[in-house]
Every structure is written in structure tokens, then in C-alpha cells.
A = this chain, B = another copy of it.
Amino acid sequence: MNIQQLVDRGLKIKTYTKDSVIYEPGMQPRYVYFIKTGEVRMVTVSDEGKEFIQGVFKAGQHFGEPALLINRPYLAFTITNKDTQLIAVNKEDFFSLIKNEPDFSMNLIQTLSQRLFYKSMMLEELANEKADHRLLTIINYLLHDITEGENLKVTRQELADMTGLRVETVIRGVKMLAGKGLIKTVKGKIVKG
């Protein structure tokens, strides 16, 4: 099932401006959201206001399935990173997608597996590893998605919010890793290759 097919079925496209909140912790889930254009981040926020990035979702992807499927209130905020168009698919329709479209079902299983893999990796890092190790792991993970010579389009703050560290620690850590030759930086940007 892709976006076009959902549109063909007559589902409405909702438009959100950058930094809109789609849902927040405690809300009872009613939809799965398919992203037509734009990008969202899923973040949990501590009492002291510190953010942790649970995931980032882009055009063509969907989010919010787990809470809907196990019928539990959301744990996280989901917030648009850019102007974003979403299609909200209700519970009934989503369940029938799973039941009636084997390809979609298989795809969903693999998507969930991938997310589990990432979270397992990060849990190990947060539970057991120090700042430098955490940073190197995420950076290498993110470098997979880009080509030689390109640079990572993430700020130190975002790296901090993915690793549970503070910006200052990330800044010092990245500098140290670059010094040791474990990563390459150009004008502060982390570069692949």
C-alpha cells in the first residue's frame, strides 16, 4: 500500500506546518499516519525538558503503528520537522490493510524489525557505553545512508538528543574522534570517506 493508493481510496490529506505537534504522550491512538511529503520526529521529553529522539520518519513512511496495534496511549510526541502532508488511516482500515494485503503485512513486519534493531543497538550503547563510543556508533550508523564525500546533515544538538548526551559533550567528543582519525570532519561537518 502506497500513498497514491490511499489517496485513490478517498482518504484526506492533512497539511501541517513545521513544528506542529501531531500527537503527544498520553493520547489514545486512533490513526496510523502515512507521510506524503515532509518529515517528522518522534521524541520523548523528560520532566526537565530534555528531548530524546526516538525516531525520524520521512516521505513514504508511516508511524504510530505500535501504540495503535497494542492499544496503549502514546509515549512520545510526534512533531513535524518541516511542512508536512499526512494521511491518517484509522484503526479499522489499518487492520484490514494488514489482513488483506500480504505484501503490506510483510513490509510492516520488516519495518518493525528494523526499528527494533536500531533500538536494541541504542539501548546497548546507552546502558553500557561511554560518550565517545556512543557517538562513534551513531555516526557510523548515520553515515550508512549517505555517499562518500557527503556530510551528515545533523547538528551536534541532534546527535546529543539521539545519544542522551549534552551538546557540549557531543562537541568535545566529535572533536576527539576526529583528532584520533576515527571520523573525518570538514569545517565542523562530519564527512563520509
Contact = CB atoms under 8 A, between A and B. Distances in A.
Interface magnitude class on chain A: 35 or more
Interface string A71-96: 01001100000000000000000000
B69 A109 contact: yes
A159 to B, nearest CB: 12
A106 interface: yes
Contact of A123 (B52, B70, B99, B112): B52
A128 B102 CA distance: 39
**Copies of this protein in the complex:** 2
Given A109-B105, A115-B116, A124 B46 contact: yes
Contacts of A123: 44, 52, 54, 119, 122-123, 126
A66 interface: yes
Contacts of A48: 128
A109 B32 CA distance: 14
Interface string A101-127: 010011011101111110111111011
A164 interface: yes
A96 B75 CA distance: 34
